[in-house]
Amino acid sequence: MTATPSAGCAHAVTERGEPERADYRGAFAHAPLPLAVVDGEGLVVDANQAFAALVGAPPDELAGRVAADLVDLASDARTWHTYREVLRGRQADLRCTRRLKHPDGHSLWARITVSPMPGSADRDGGGTVLLAAADISARRELQARLRHVQMHDPVTRLPNRNLFFERLAAALEAGAYDDSSTGRVGLCYLDLDGFKAVNDTLGHRIGDRLLAAVAERLTRCADLAGHGRTAPPLVARLGGDEFALLVEESTGTEELAGLAEATLEALREPFDLSGQRLSVSASIGVVERRASGATATGLMQAADTTLYWAKTDGKDRWTLFDPERNAHRMTRQTLSSSLRPAVDRGEFVLDYQPLVGFDDEDVRGVEALVRWQHPQFGLLTPNRFISLAEEDGSIVQLGCWVLRTACRQARRWQLAHPEREPVFVSVNVAVRQVWDSDLVADVAGILAETGLPPRLLQLELTESAVMGSTGRPLQALKALSEMGVRIAIDDFGTGYSNLAYLSRLPVSALKLDGSFVRGFQYEEGETQGNPADAVIVEAMVQLAHRLGLTVTAECVETAAQATRLRRIGCDTGQGWLYSRPVAADRISVLLGEVNPGPESPKEPGVRPSAGRTRPR
């Protein structure tokens, strides 16, 4: 007989049918994988020893038992539904993981698969199924241990960054969607003050022990704070000496402030690390907000900024996030980064404010005041950007532009009004311009280029900029003065006010700070004015005159102030009484008005602009 392999196989089955079935039965009975044959009604037909051991029942007592009860398939609706569908032959298989309780008390994890026995389908498609239940407890435990390692910090045993962010994301989600929660989350972001020094001087071992001890105290604080709430705040180590306390379902900033305060208090207590007594403090940034709309990154950025404030405000403190302070910081950053290109793009303009003689109320000069026409923030006054420009050095380039523009304008006025005494232009100069640029060469170049006579240029420097001037700055001031340029001390009276010292510098004018002028608000004889101010200012003006300096009063806002300042002997005044800082063309009008030329003789005592010039 010539037999094909398959025919040979078929032959073998017919010939050895019974013994082979016995082999399979033996294999089923002793297979290490727990197996049960279940009929279309869900009752156990047969189960092997491993299955019996898994569910803790003798194998011969399993037949007829409800399989779903043995491996807990009915406890959740979805699994139960799928299981029923498999029994009816409408679904290919069921796979699920179950935590089973063994009669001896221990519990285990089982991976359950239920699939139809091949060839067992009845007319309706249902039939016997094979149920396998693999014990995966060991794997689950390993996974859990791996997860613990991945989610915890070995030094402090606290949850690490990964777990912290997982919990934060979950808290934000729960807070936003769970109606029963407060809908808020809070965060204390903590950094030890001077931890690096501990590490550097005492070594990493002590450093690590300190971190572990800190972690313990933080956990204690969190536990205390957790009384009366569903769960205590989560304490995590985010890295280095940074920790975080996450308050889910926060009740408001007060709760967070209390936690931060208690934490600082707990950390102030010295640490005893194997004989080493260590005192540390910490800084904490506190953020508390509604969960809905908040993101983990946004919250952490806010916490980071706030922690930075706590550090810069002096450490050993907690600081609460302040949106306004943050906006200010952000605009400062944005402004700072766009300053340099703004100079190149020509986004700056100059306003001019008249300096008016007290004796005849005629315009003697104008102060150039820079403004930034910012594409996003609109017109910005110098107090928003001058200090930034000084910090990053762009003041040198900006200052040069101001100087050139102001000198060019002053020269134009001189040429346009030959009939009148020309007005000088007073330009503010920052300390850094004196130090970091060749101011003398720049000024000389600009005067030559614009044709403005040096006597029509005044440079305003602050007291602090010229005080203690030696070396290069002093040389620069001397060279400028010798060139014929006037040097004025701006905001006089706010700094050292050392007139005797000033007399040794090549200074020709003082600009009395607005804070003095403010005391001159009332007519003489009225009680509100501080007489001490008047005495001081009068003495200063007299001394300045004796030293050959002219005096300008800043911020003259009322006629009463002007009257008293004139009486005291101030030479010129500058302020809103006469004019706000205005665009160059307004000054041109003003010069024409005050000195209208031969056709219409000038009325004496006409205030150049009072009430007529409006700011841009």
Q: Which is nearer to ligand C2E, 306 or 462 (CB)?
A: 462
Could you give the residue ranges of the DSSP H alpha helices within 31-126?
A: 49-55, 67-70, 77-87
The answer to the question of residue 490 lying near ligand C2E (CB under 6 A) is yes
Tokens 């004496």, residue? 604
With a CB cutoff of 8 Å and minimum separation 6, the contacts of 83 are: 42, 68, 73, 74, 94, 114
- Amino acid sitting at position 493: G
Environment class of residue 600 by beta-carbon count within 10 Å: exposed (0-12), middle (13-18) or buried (19+)? exposed
With a CB cutoff of 8 Å and minimum separation 6, the contacts of 80 are: 68, 73, 74
Q: Is 398 left (phi over 0), alpha (psi -120 to 50) or beta?
A: alpha
Q: How far is the CB of 325 from Mg ion (least distance, A)?
A: 27
Within residues 428-447, the interface with ligand C2E by CB under 6 A covers 428, 430
Q: Which of 159, 233, 575, 608 binds ligand C2E (CB under 6 A)?
A: 575
Q: Which is nearer to ligand C2E, 209 or 518 (CB)?
A: 518
The answer to the question of residue 460 lying near Mg ion (CB under 5 A) is yes
Q: How far is the CB of 213 from Mg ion (least distance, A)?
A: 55
Q: How far is the CB of 436 from ligand C2E (least distance, A)?
A: 13
Of Mg ion, ligand C2E, none, which one sits near residue 430, judging by CB under 5 to 8 A according to partner kind?
A: ligand C2E
Q: Which is nearer to ligand C2E, 255 or 490 (CB)?
A: 490
Q: How far is the CB of 581 from ligand C2E (least distance, A)?
A: 5
CA separation for the pair 87, 116 (Å, rounded): 8
Within residues 328-367, the interface with ligand C2E by CB under 6 A covers 353
Q: How far is the CB of 488 from Mg ion (least distance, A)?
A: 8
Within residues 514-533, the interface with ligand C2E by CB under 6 A covers 514
Q: How far is the CB of 350 from Mg ion (least distance, A)?
A: 13
Of ligand C2E, Mg ion, none, which one sits near residue 557, judging by CB under 5 to 8 A according to partner kind?
A: ligand C2E
Helix, strand, coil percent values for the chain (each to nearest 5): 45, 20, 30
The answer to the question of residue 490 lying near Mg ion (CB under 5 A) is yes
Residue closest to 59 by CA, chosen among 72, 70, 68, 50: 50
Within residues 295-324, the interface with ligand C2E by CB under 6 A covers none
CA separation for the pair 47, 62 (Å, rounded): 7
Number of residues that bind Mg ion (CB under 5 A): 5
Q: How far is the CB of 541 from Mg ion (least distance, A)?
A: 16
The answer to the question of residue 550 lying near Mg ion (CB under 5 A) is no
Q: Which is nearer to ligand C2E, 191 or 351 (CB)?
A: 351
Q: Which of 238, 363, 402, 465 binds ligand C2E (CB under 6 A)?
A: 402
According to DSSP, the residues that pair with 469 across neighbouring strands are: none
Q: How far is the CB of 575 from ligand C2E (least distance, A)?
A: 3
Environment class of residue 359 by beta-carbon count within 10 Å: exposed (0-12), middle (13-18) or buried (19+)? exposed
Q: How far is the CB of 574 from ligand C2E (least distance, A)?
A: 6
Number of residues that bind ligand C2E (CB under 6 A): 23
Q: How far is the CB of 411 from ligand C2E (least distance, A)?
A: 18
The answer to the question of residue 370 lying near ligand C2E (CB under 6 A) is yes
CA separation for the pair 114, 83 (Å, rounded): 8
Q: Which is nearer to ligand C2E, 6 or 383 (CB)?
A: 383
How many residues appear in the chain?
616
Spatial strand order in the sheet of 44-47: 44-47, 35-38, 129-135, 107-116, 94-101
Q: Which is nearer to Mg ion, 193 or 460 (CB)?
A: 460
Stretch that binds ligand C2E, among 222-230, 273-281, 575-583, 606-614 (CB under 6 A): 575-583
**Token couple for 82:** 């799928």
Q: Which helix (H) or strand (E) holds 602?
A: none
**Token couple for 95:** 């796979």
Q: How far is the CB of 322 from ligand C2E (least distance, A)?
A: 25
- Angle at which helix 584-594 crosses helix 395-416, to 10 degrees, equals 30
Q: Which is nearer to Mg ion, 296 or 489 (CB)?
A: 489
Virtual CA dihedral for 48, 49, 50, 55, nearest 10 degrees?
A: 90
**Phi and psi of 285, rounded to 5°?**
-100, 125
Of ligand C2E, Mg ion, none, which one sits near residue 369, judging by CB under 5 to 8 A according to partner kind?
A: ligand C2E
Secondary structure class of 601 (helix, strand, coil): coil
Q: Which of 428, 458, 462, 609 binds Mg ion (CB under 5 A)?
A: 428
Binding site for Mg ion (CB under 5 A): 428, 460, 490-491, 554
Binding site for ligand C2E (CB under 6 A): 353, 369-370, 381-383, 386, 399, 402, 428, 430, 460, 490-491, 514, 554-557, 574-576, 581
